[in-house]
Amino acid sequence: MSIAPSAARQDVARPSTRPSARPRRRKTAGWGATPWLFLLIPLAFLVTFTYVPVANMFWYSVTDWDGLALEKGFVGADNFVSIFTRPEYFRVFAVSLYYLVGAGAQLILALYFATLLSFNTRFKNFFKGVIFFPYLLNGVAIGLMFLYFFRPGGTLDSTLAIFGLQDPPLWLGDPSIVNISLAATSVWRYMGLNFVLFLGAIQSVPSEQYEAADLDGASSWQKFRFIILPSIRRILGLTMILAVSGALSAFEMPYIMTGGANGSTTFVIQTVDTAFRFANVGLASAMAIVLLVIVLLITAVQRKFFPDEKATVE
């Protein structure tokens, strides 16, 4: 009777020789292609409506196609030579300088209001809506509204007359100030977009950083310089790209308000007129490629001065 307990102890002490139970792997054959099936239609639209037209534009840029003829004569780099040698095609870039200055003013104003309204300010929700509201309006409606605003005897002239200015200039008829008026209109319309981007970036900064700055006795300028600016670095770089590319490709406001008259023709308006008014699609395609290359170069410069944080750490 004493053998059974010892045998039992031996059985208990003996290690188990059974293989450990492992979870069965589910068969995933064919599942690797599932994400591509979901991306198939979007990629098809992207290739059809973006990459194929861009490739066609590169081909048109080395031809003399008028947009109607079936045959396209190959001219090589003659279209690009015309852009940089004929002043009527290249000097319109000077008009973009007004929009570049307006883009800088737009970023400064948007950043100022975003910083101001990110903290405790009376009626801040009301002012947020007022600043962002112009961006929600249709561009054609804004163009027609400011067309009446700047017209002789219009809203602006009537307002200035109240303050004693009886002989105001022709805001859209004087070549020396027409681009200033158009650039100011663009600033009013697009400032709301940059304002919202800055506002979201500033409000994502942890409040503990401001509290620590208050304990150290930091001023408002020091908080802005050492807390806000480093925190919104990437958003600031993005808005700079959007502002500069928008200034170079300005079209909507000047085309609606002046049609490019009185020295307000931008590079994009010149491109559209070249293609559809003067029936030279080949030259217009070359102008579009030049604009594309300039925007890409500006983007590369921006990435140089505003690198990605992850890339900087690596």
pLDDT (tens, 9 = 90+) of the chain, 314 residues, equals 444 444 444 444 455 555 555 555 555 555 677 888 888 999 999 999 999 999 999 999 999 888 888 888 888 889 999 888 888 777 788 898 899 999 999 999 999 999 999 887 788 889 999 999 999 998 889 999 999 899 988 889 899 888 888 888 889 988 999 999 999 999 999 999 999 999 999 988 888 888 888 888 888 888 888 899 988 888 888 888 888 888 888 898 899 999 888 889 999 999 999 998 888 999 999 999 998 898 888 888 877 776 665 544 44
| Identity of residue 90 | F
80, 286 Cβ separation under 8 angstroms: yes
Tokens standing for 236?
Answer: 């600031």
Q: CA–CA separation, 91 vs 68, rounded Å?
A: 28
Cα–Cα separations (whole angstroms), residue 149 to 153, 158, 288: 9, 10, 32
Strands annotated E in 208-250: none
Closest residue by Cα to residue 58 from 292, 289, 294, 297? 289
Q: What is the pTM of this model?
A: 0.78
pLDDT for the residue numbered 30: 55
Residue 99's pLDDT is 92
Query: Phi/psi at 22 (nearest 5 deg)?
Result: -115, 145
Report the pLDDT value the prediction gives residue 146, as an integer from 0 to 100.
Answer: 93
Cβ neighbours for 191, distance < 8 A, ≥ 6 positions apart: 106, 109, 110, 131, 134, 135
Distance, in Å, from the CA atom of 167 to the CA atom of 153, rounded to the nearest integer, reads: 10
Structure confidence at residue 8 (pLDDT): 46
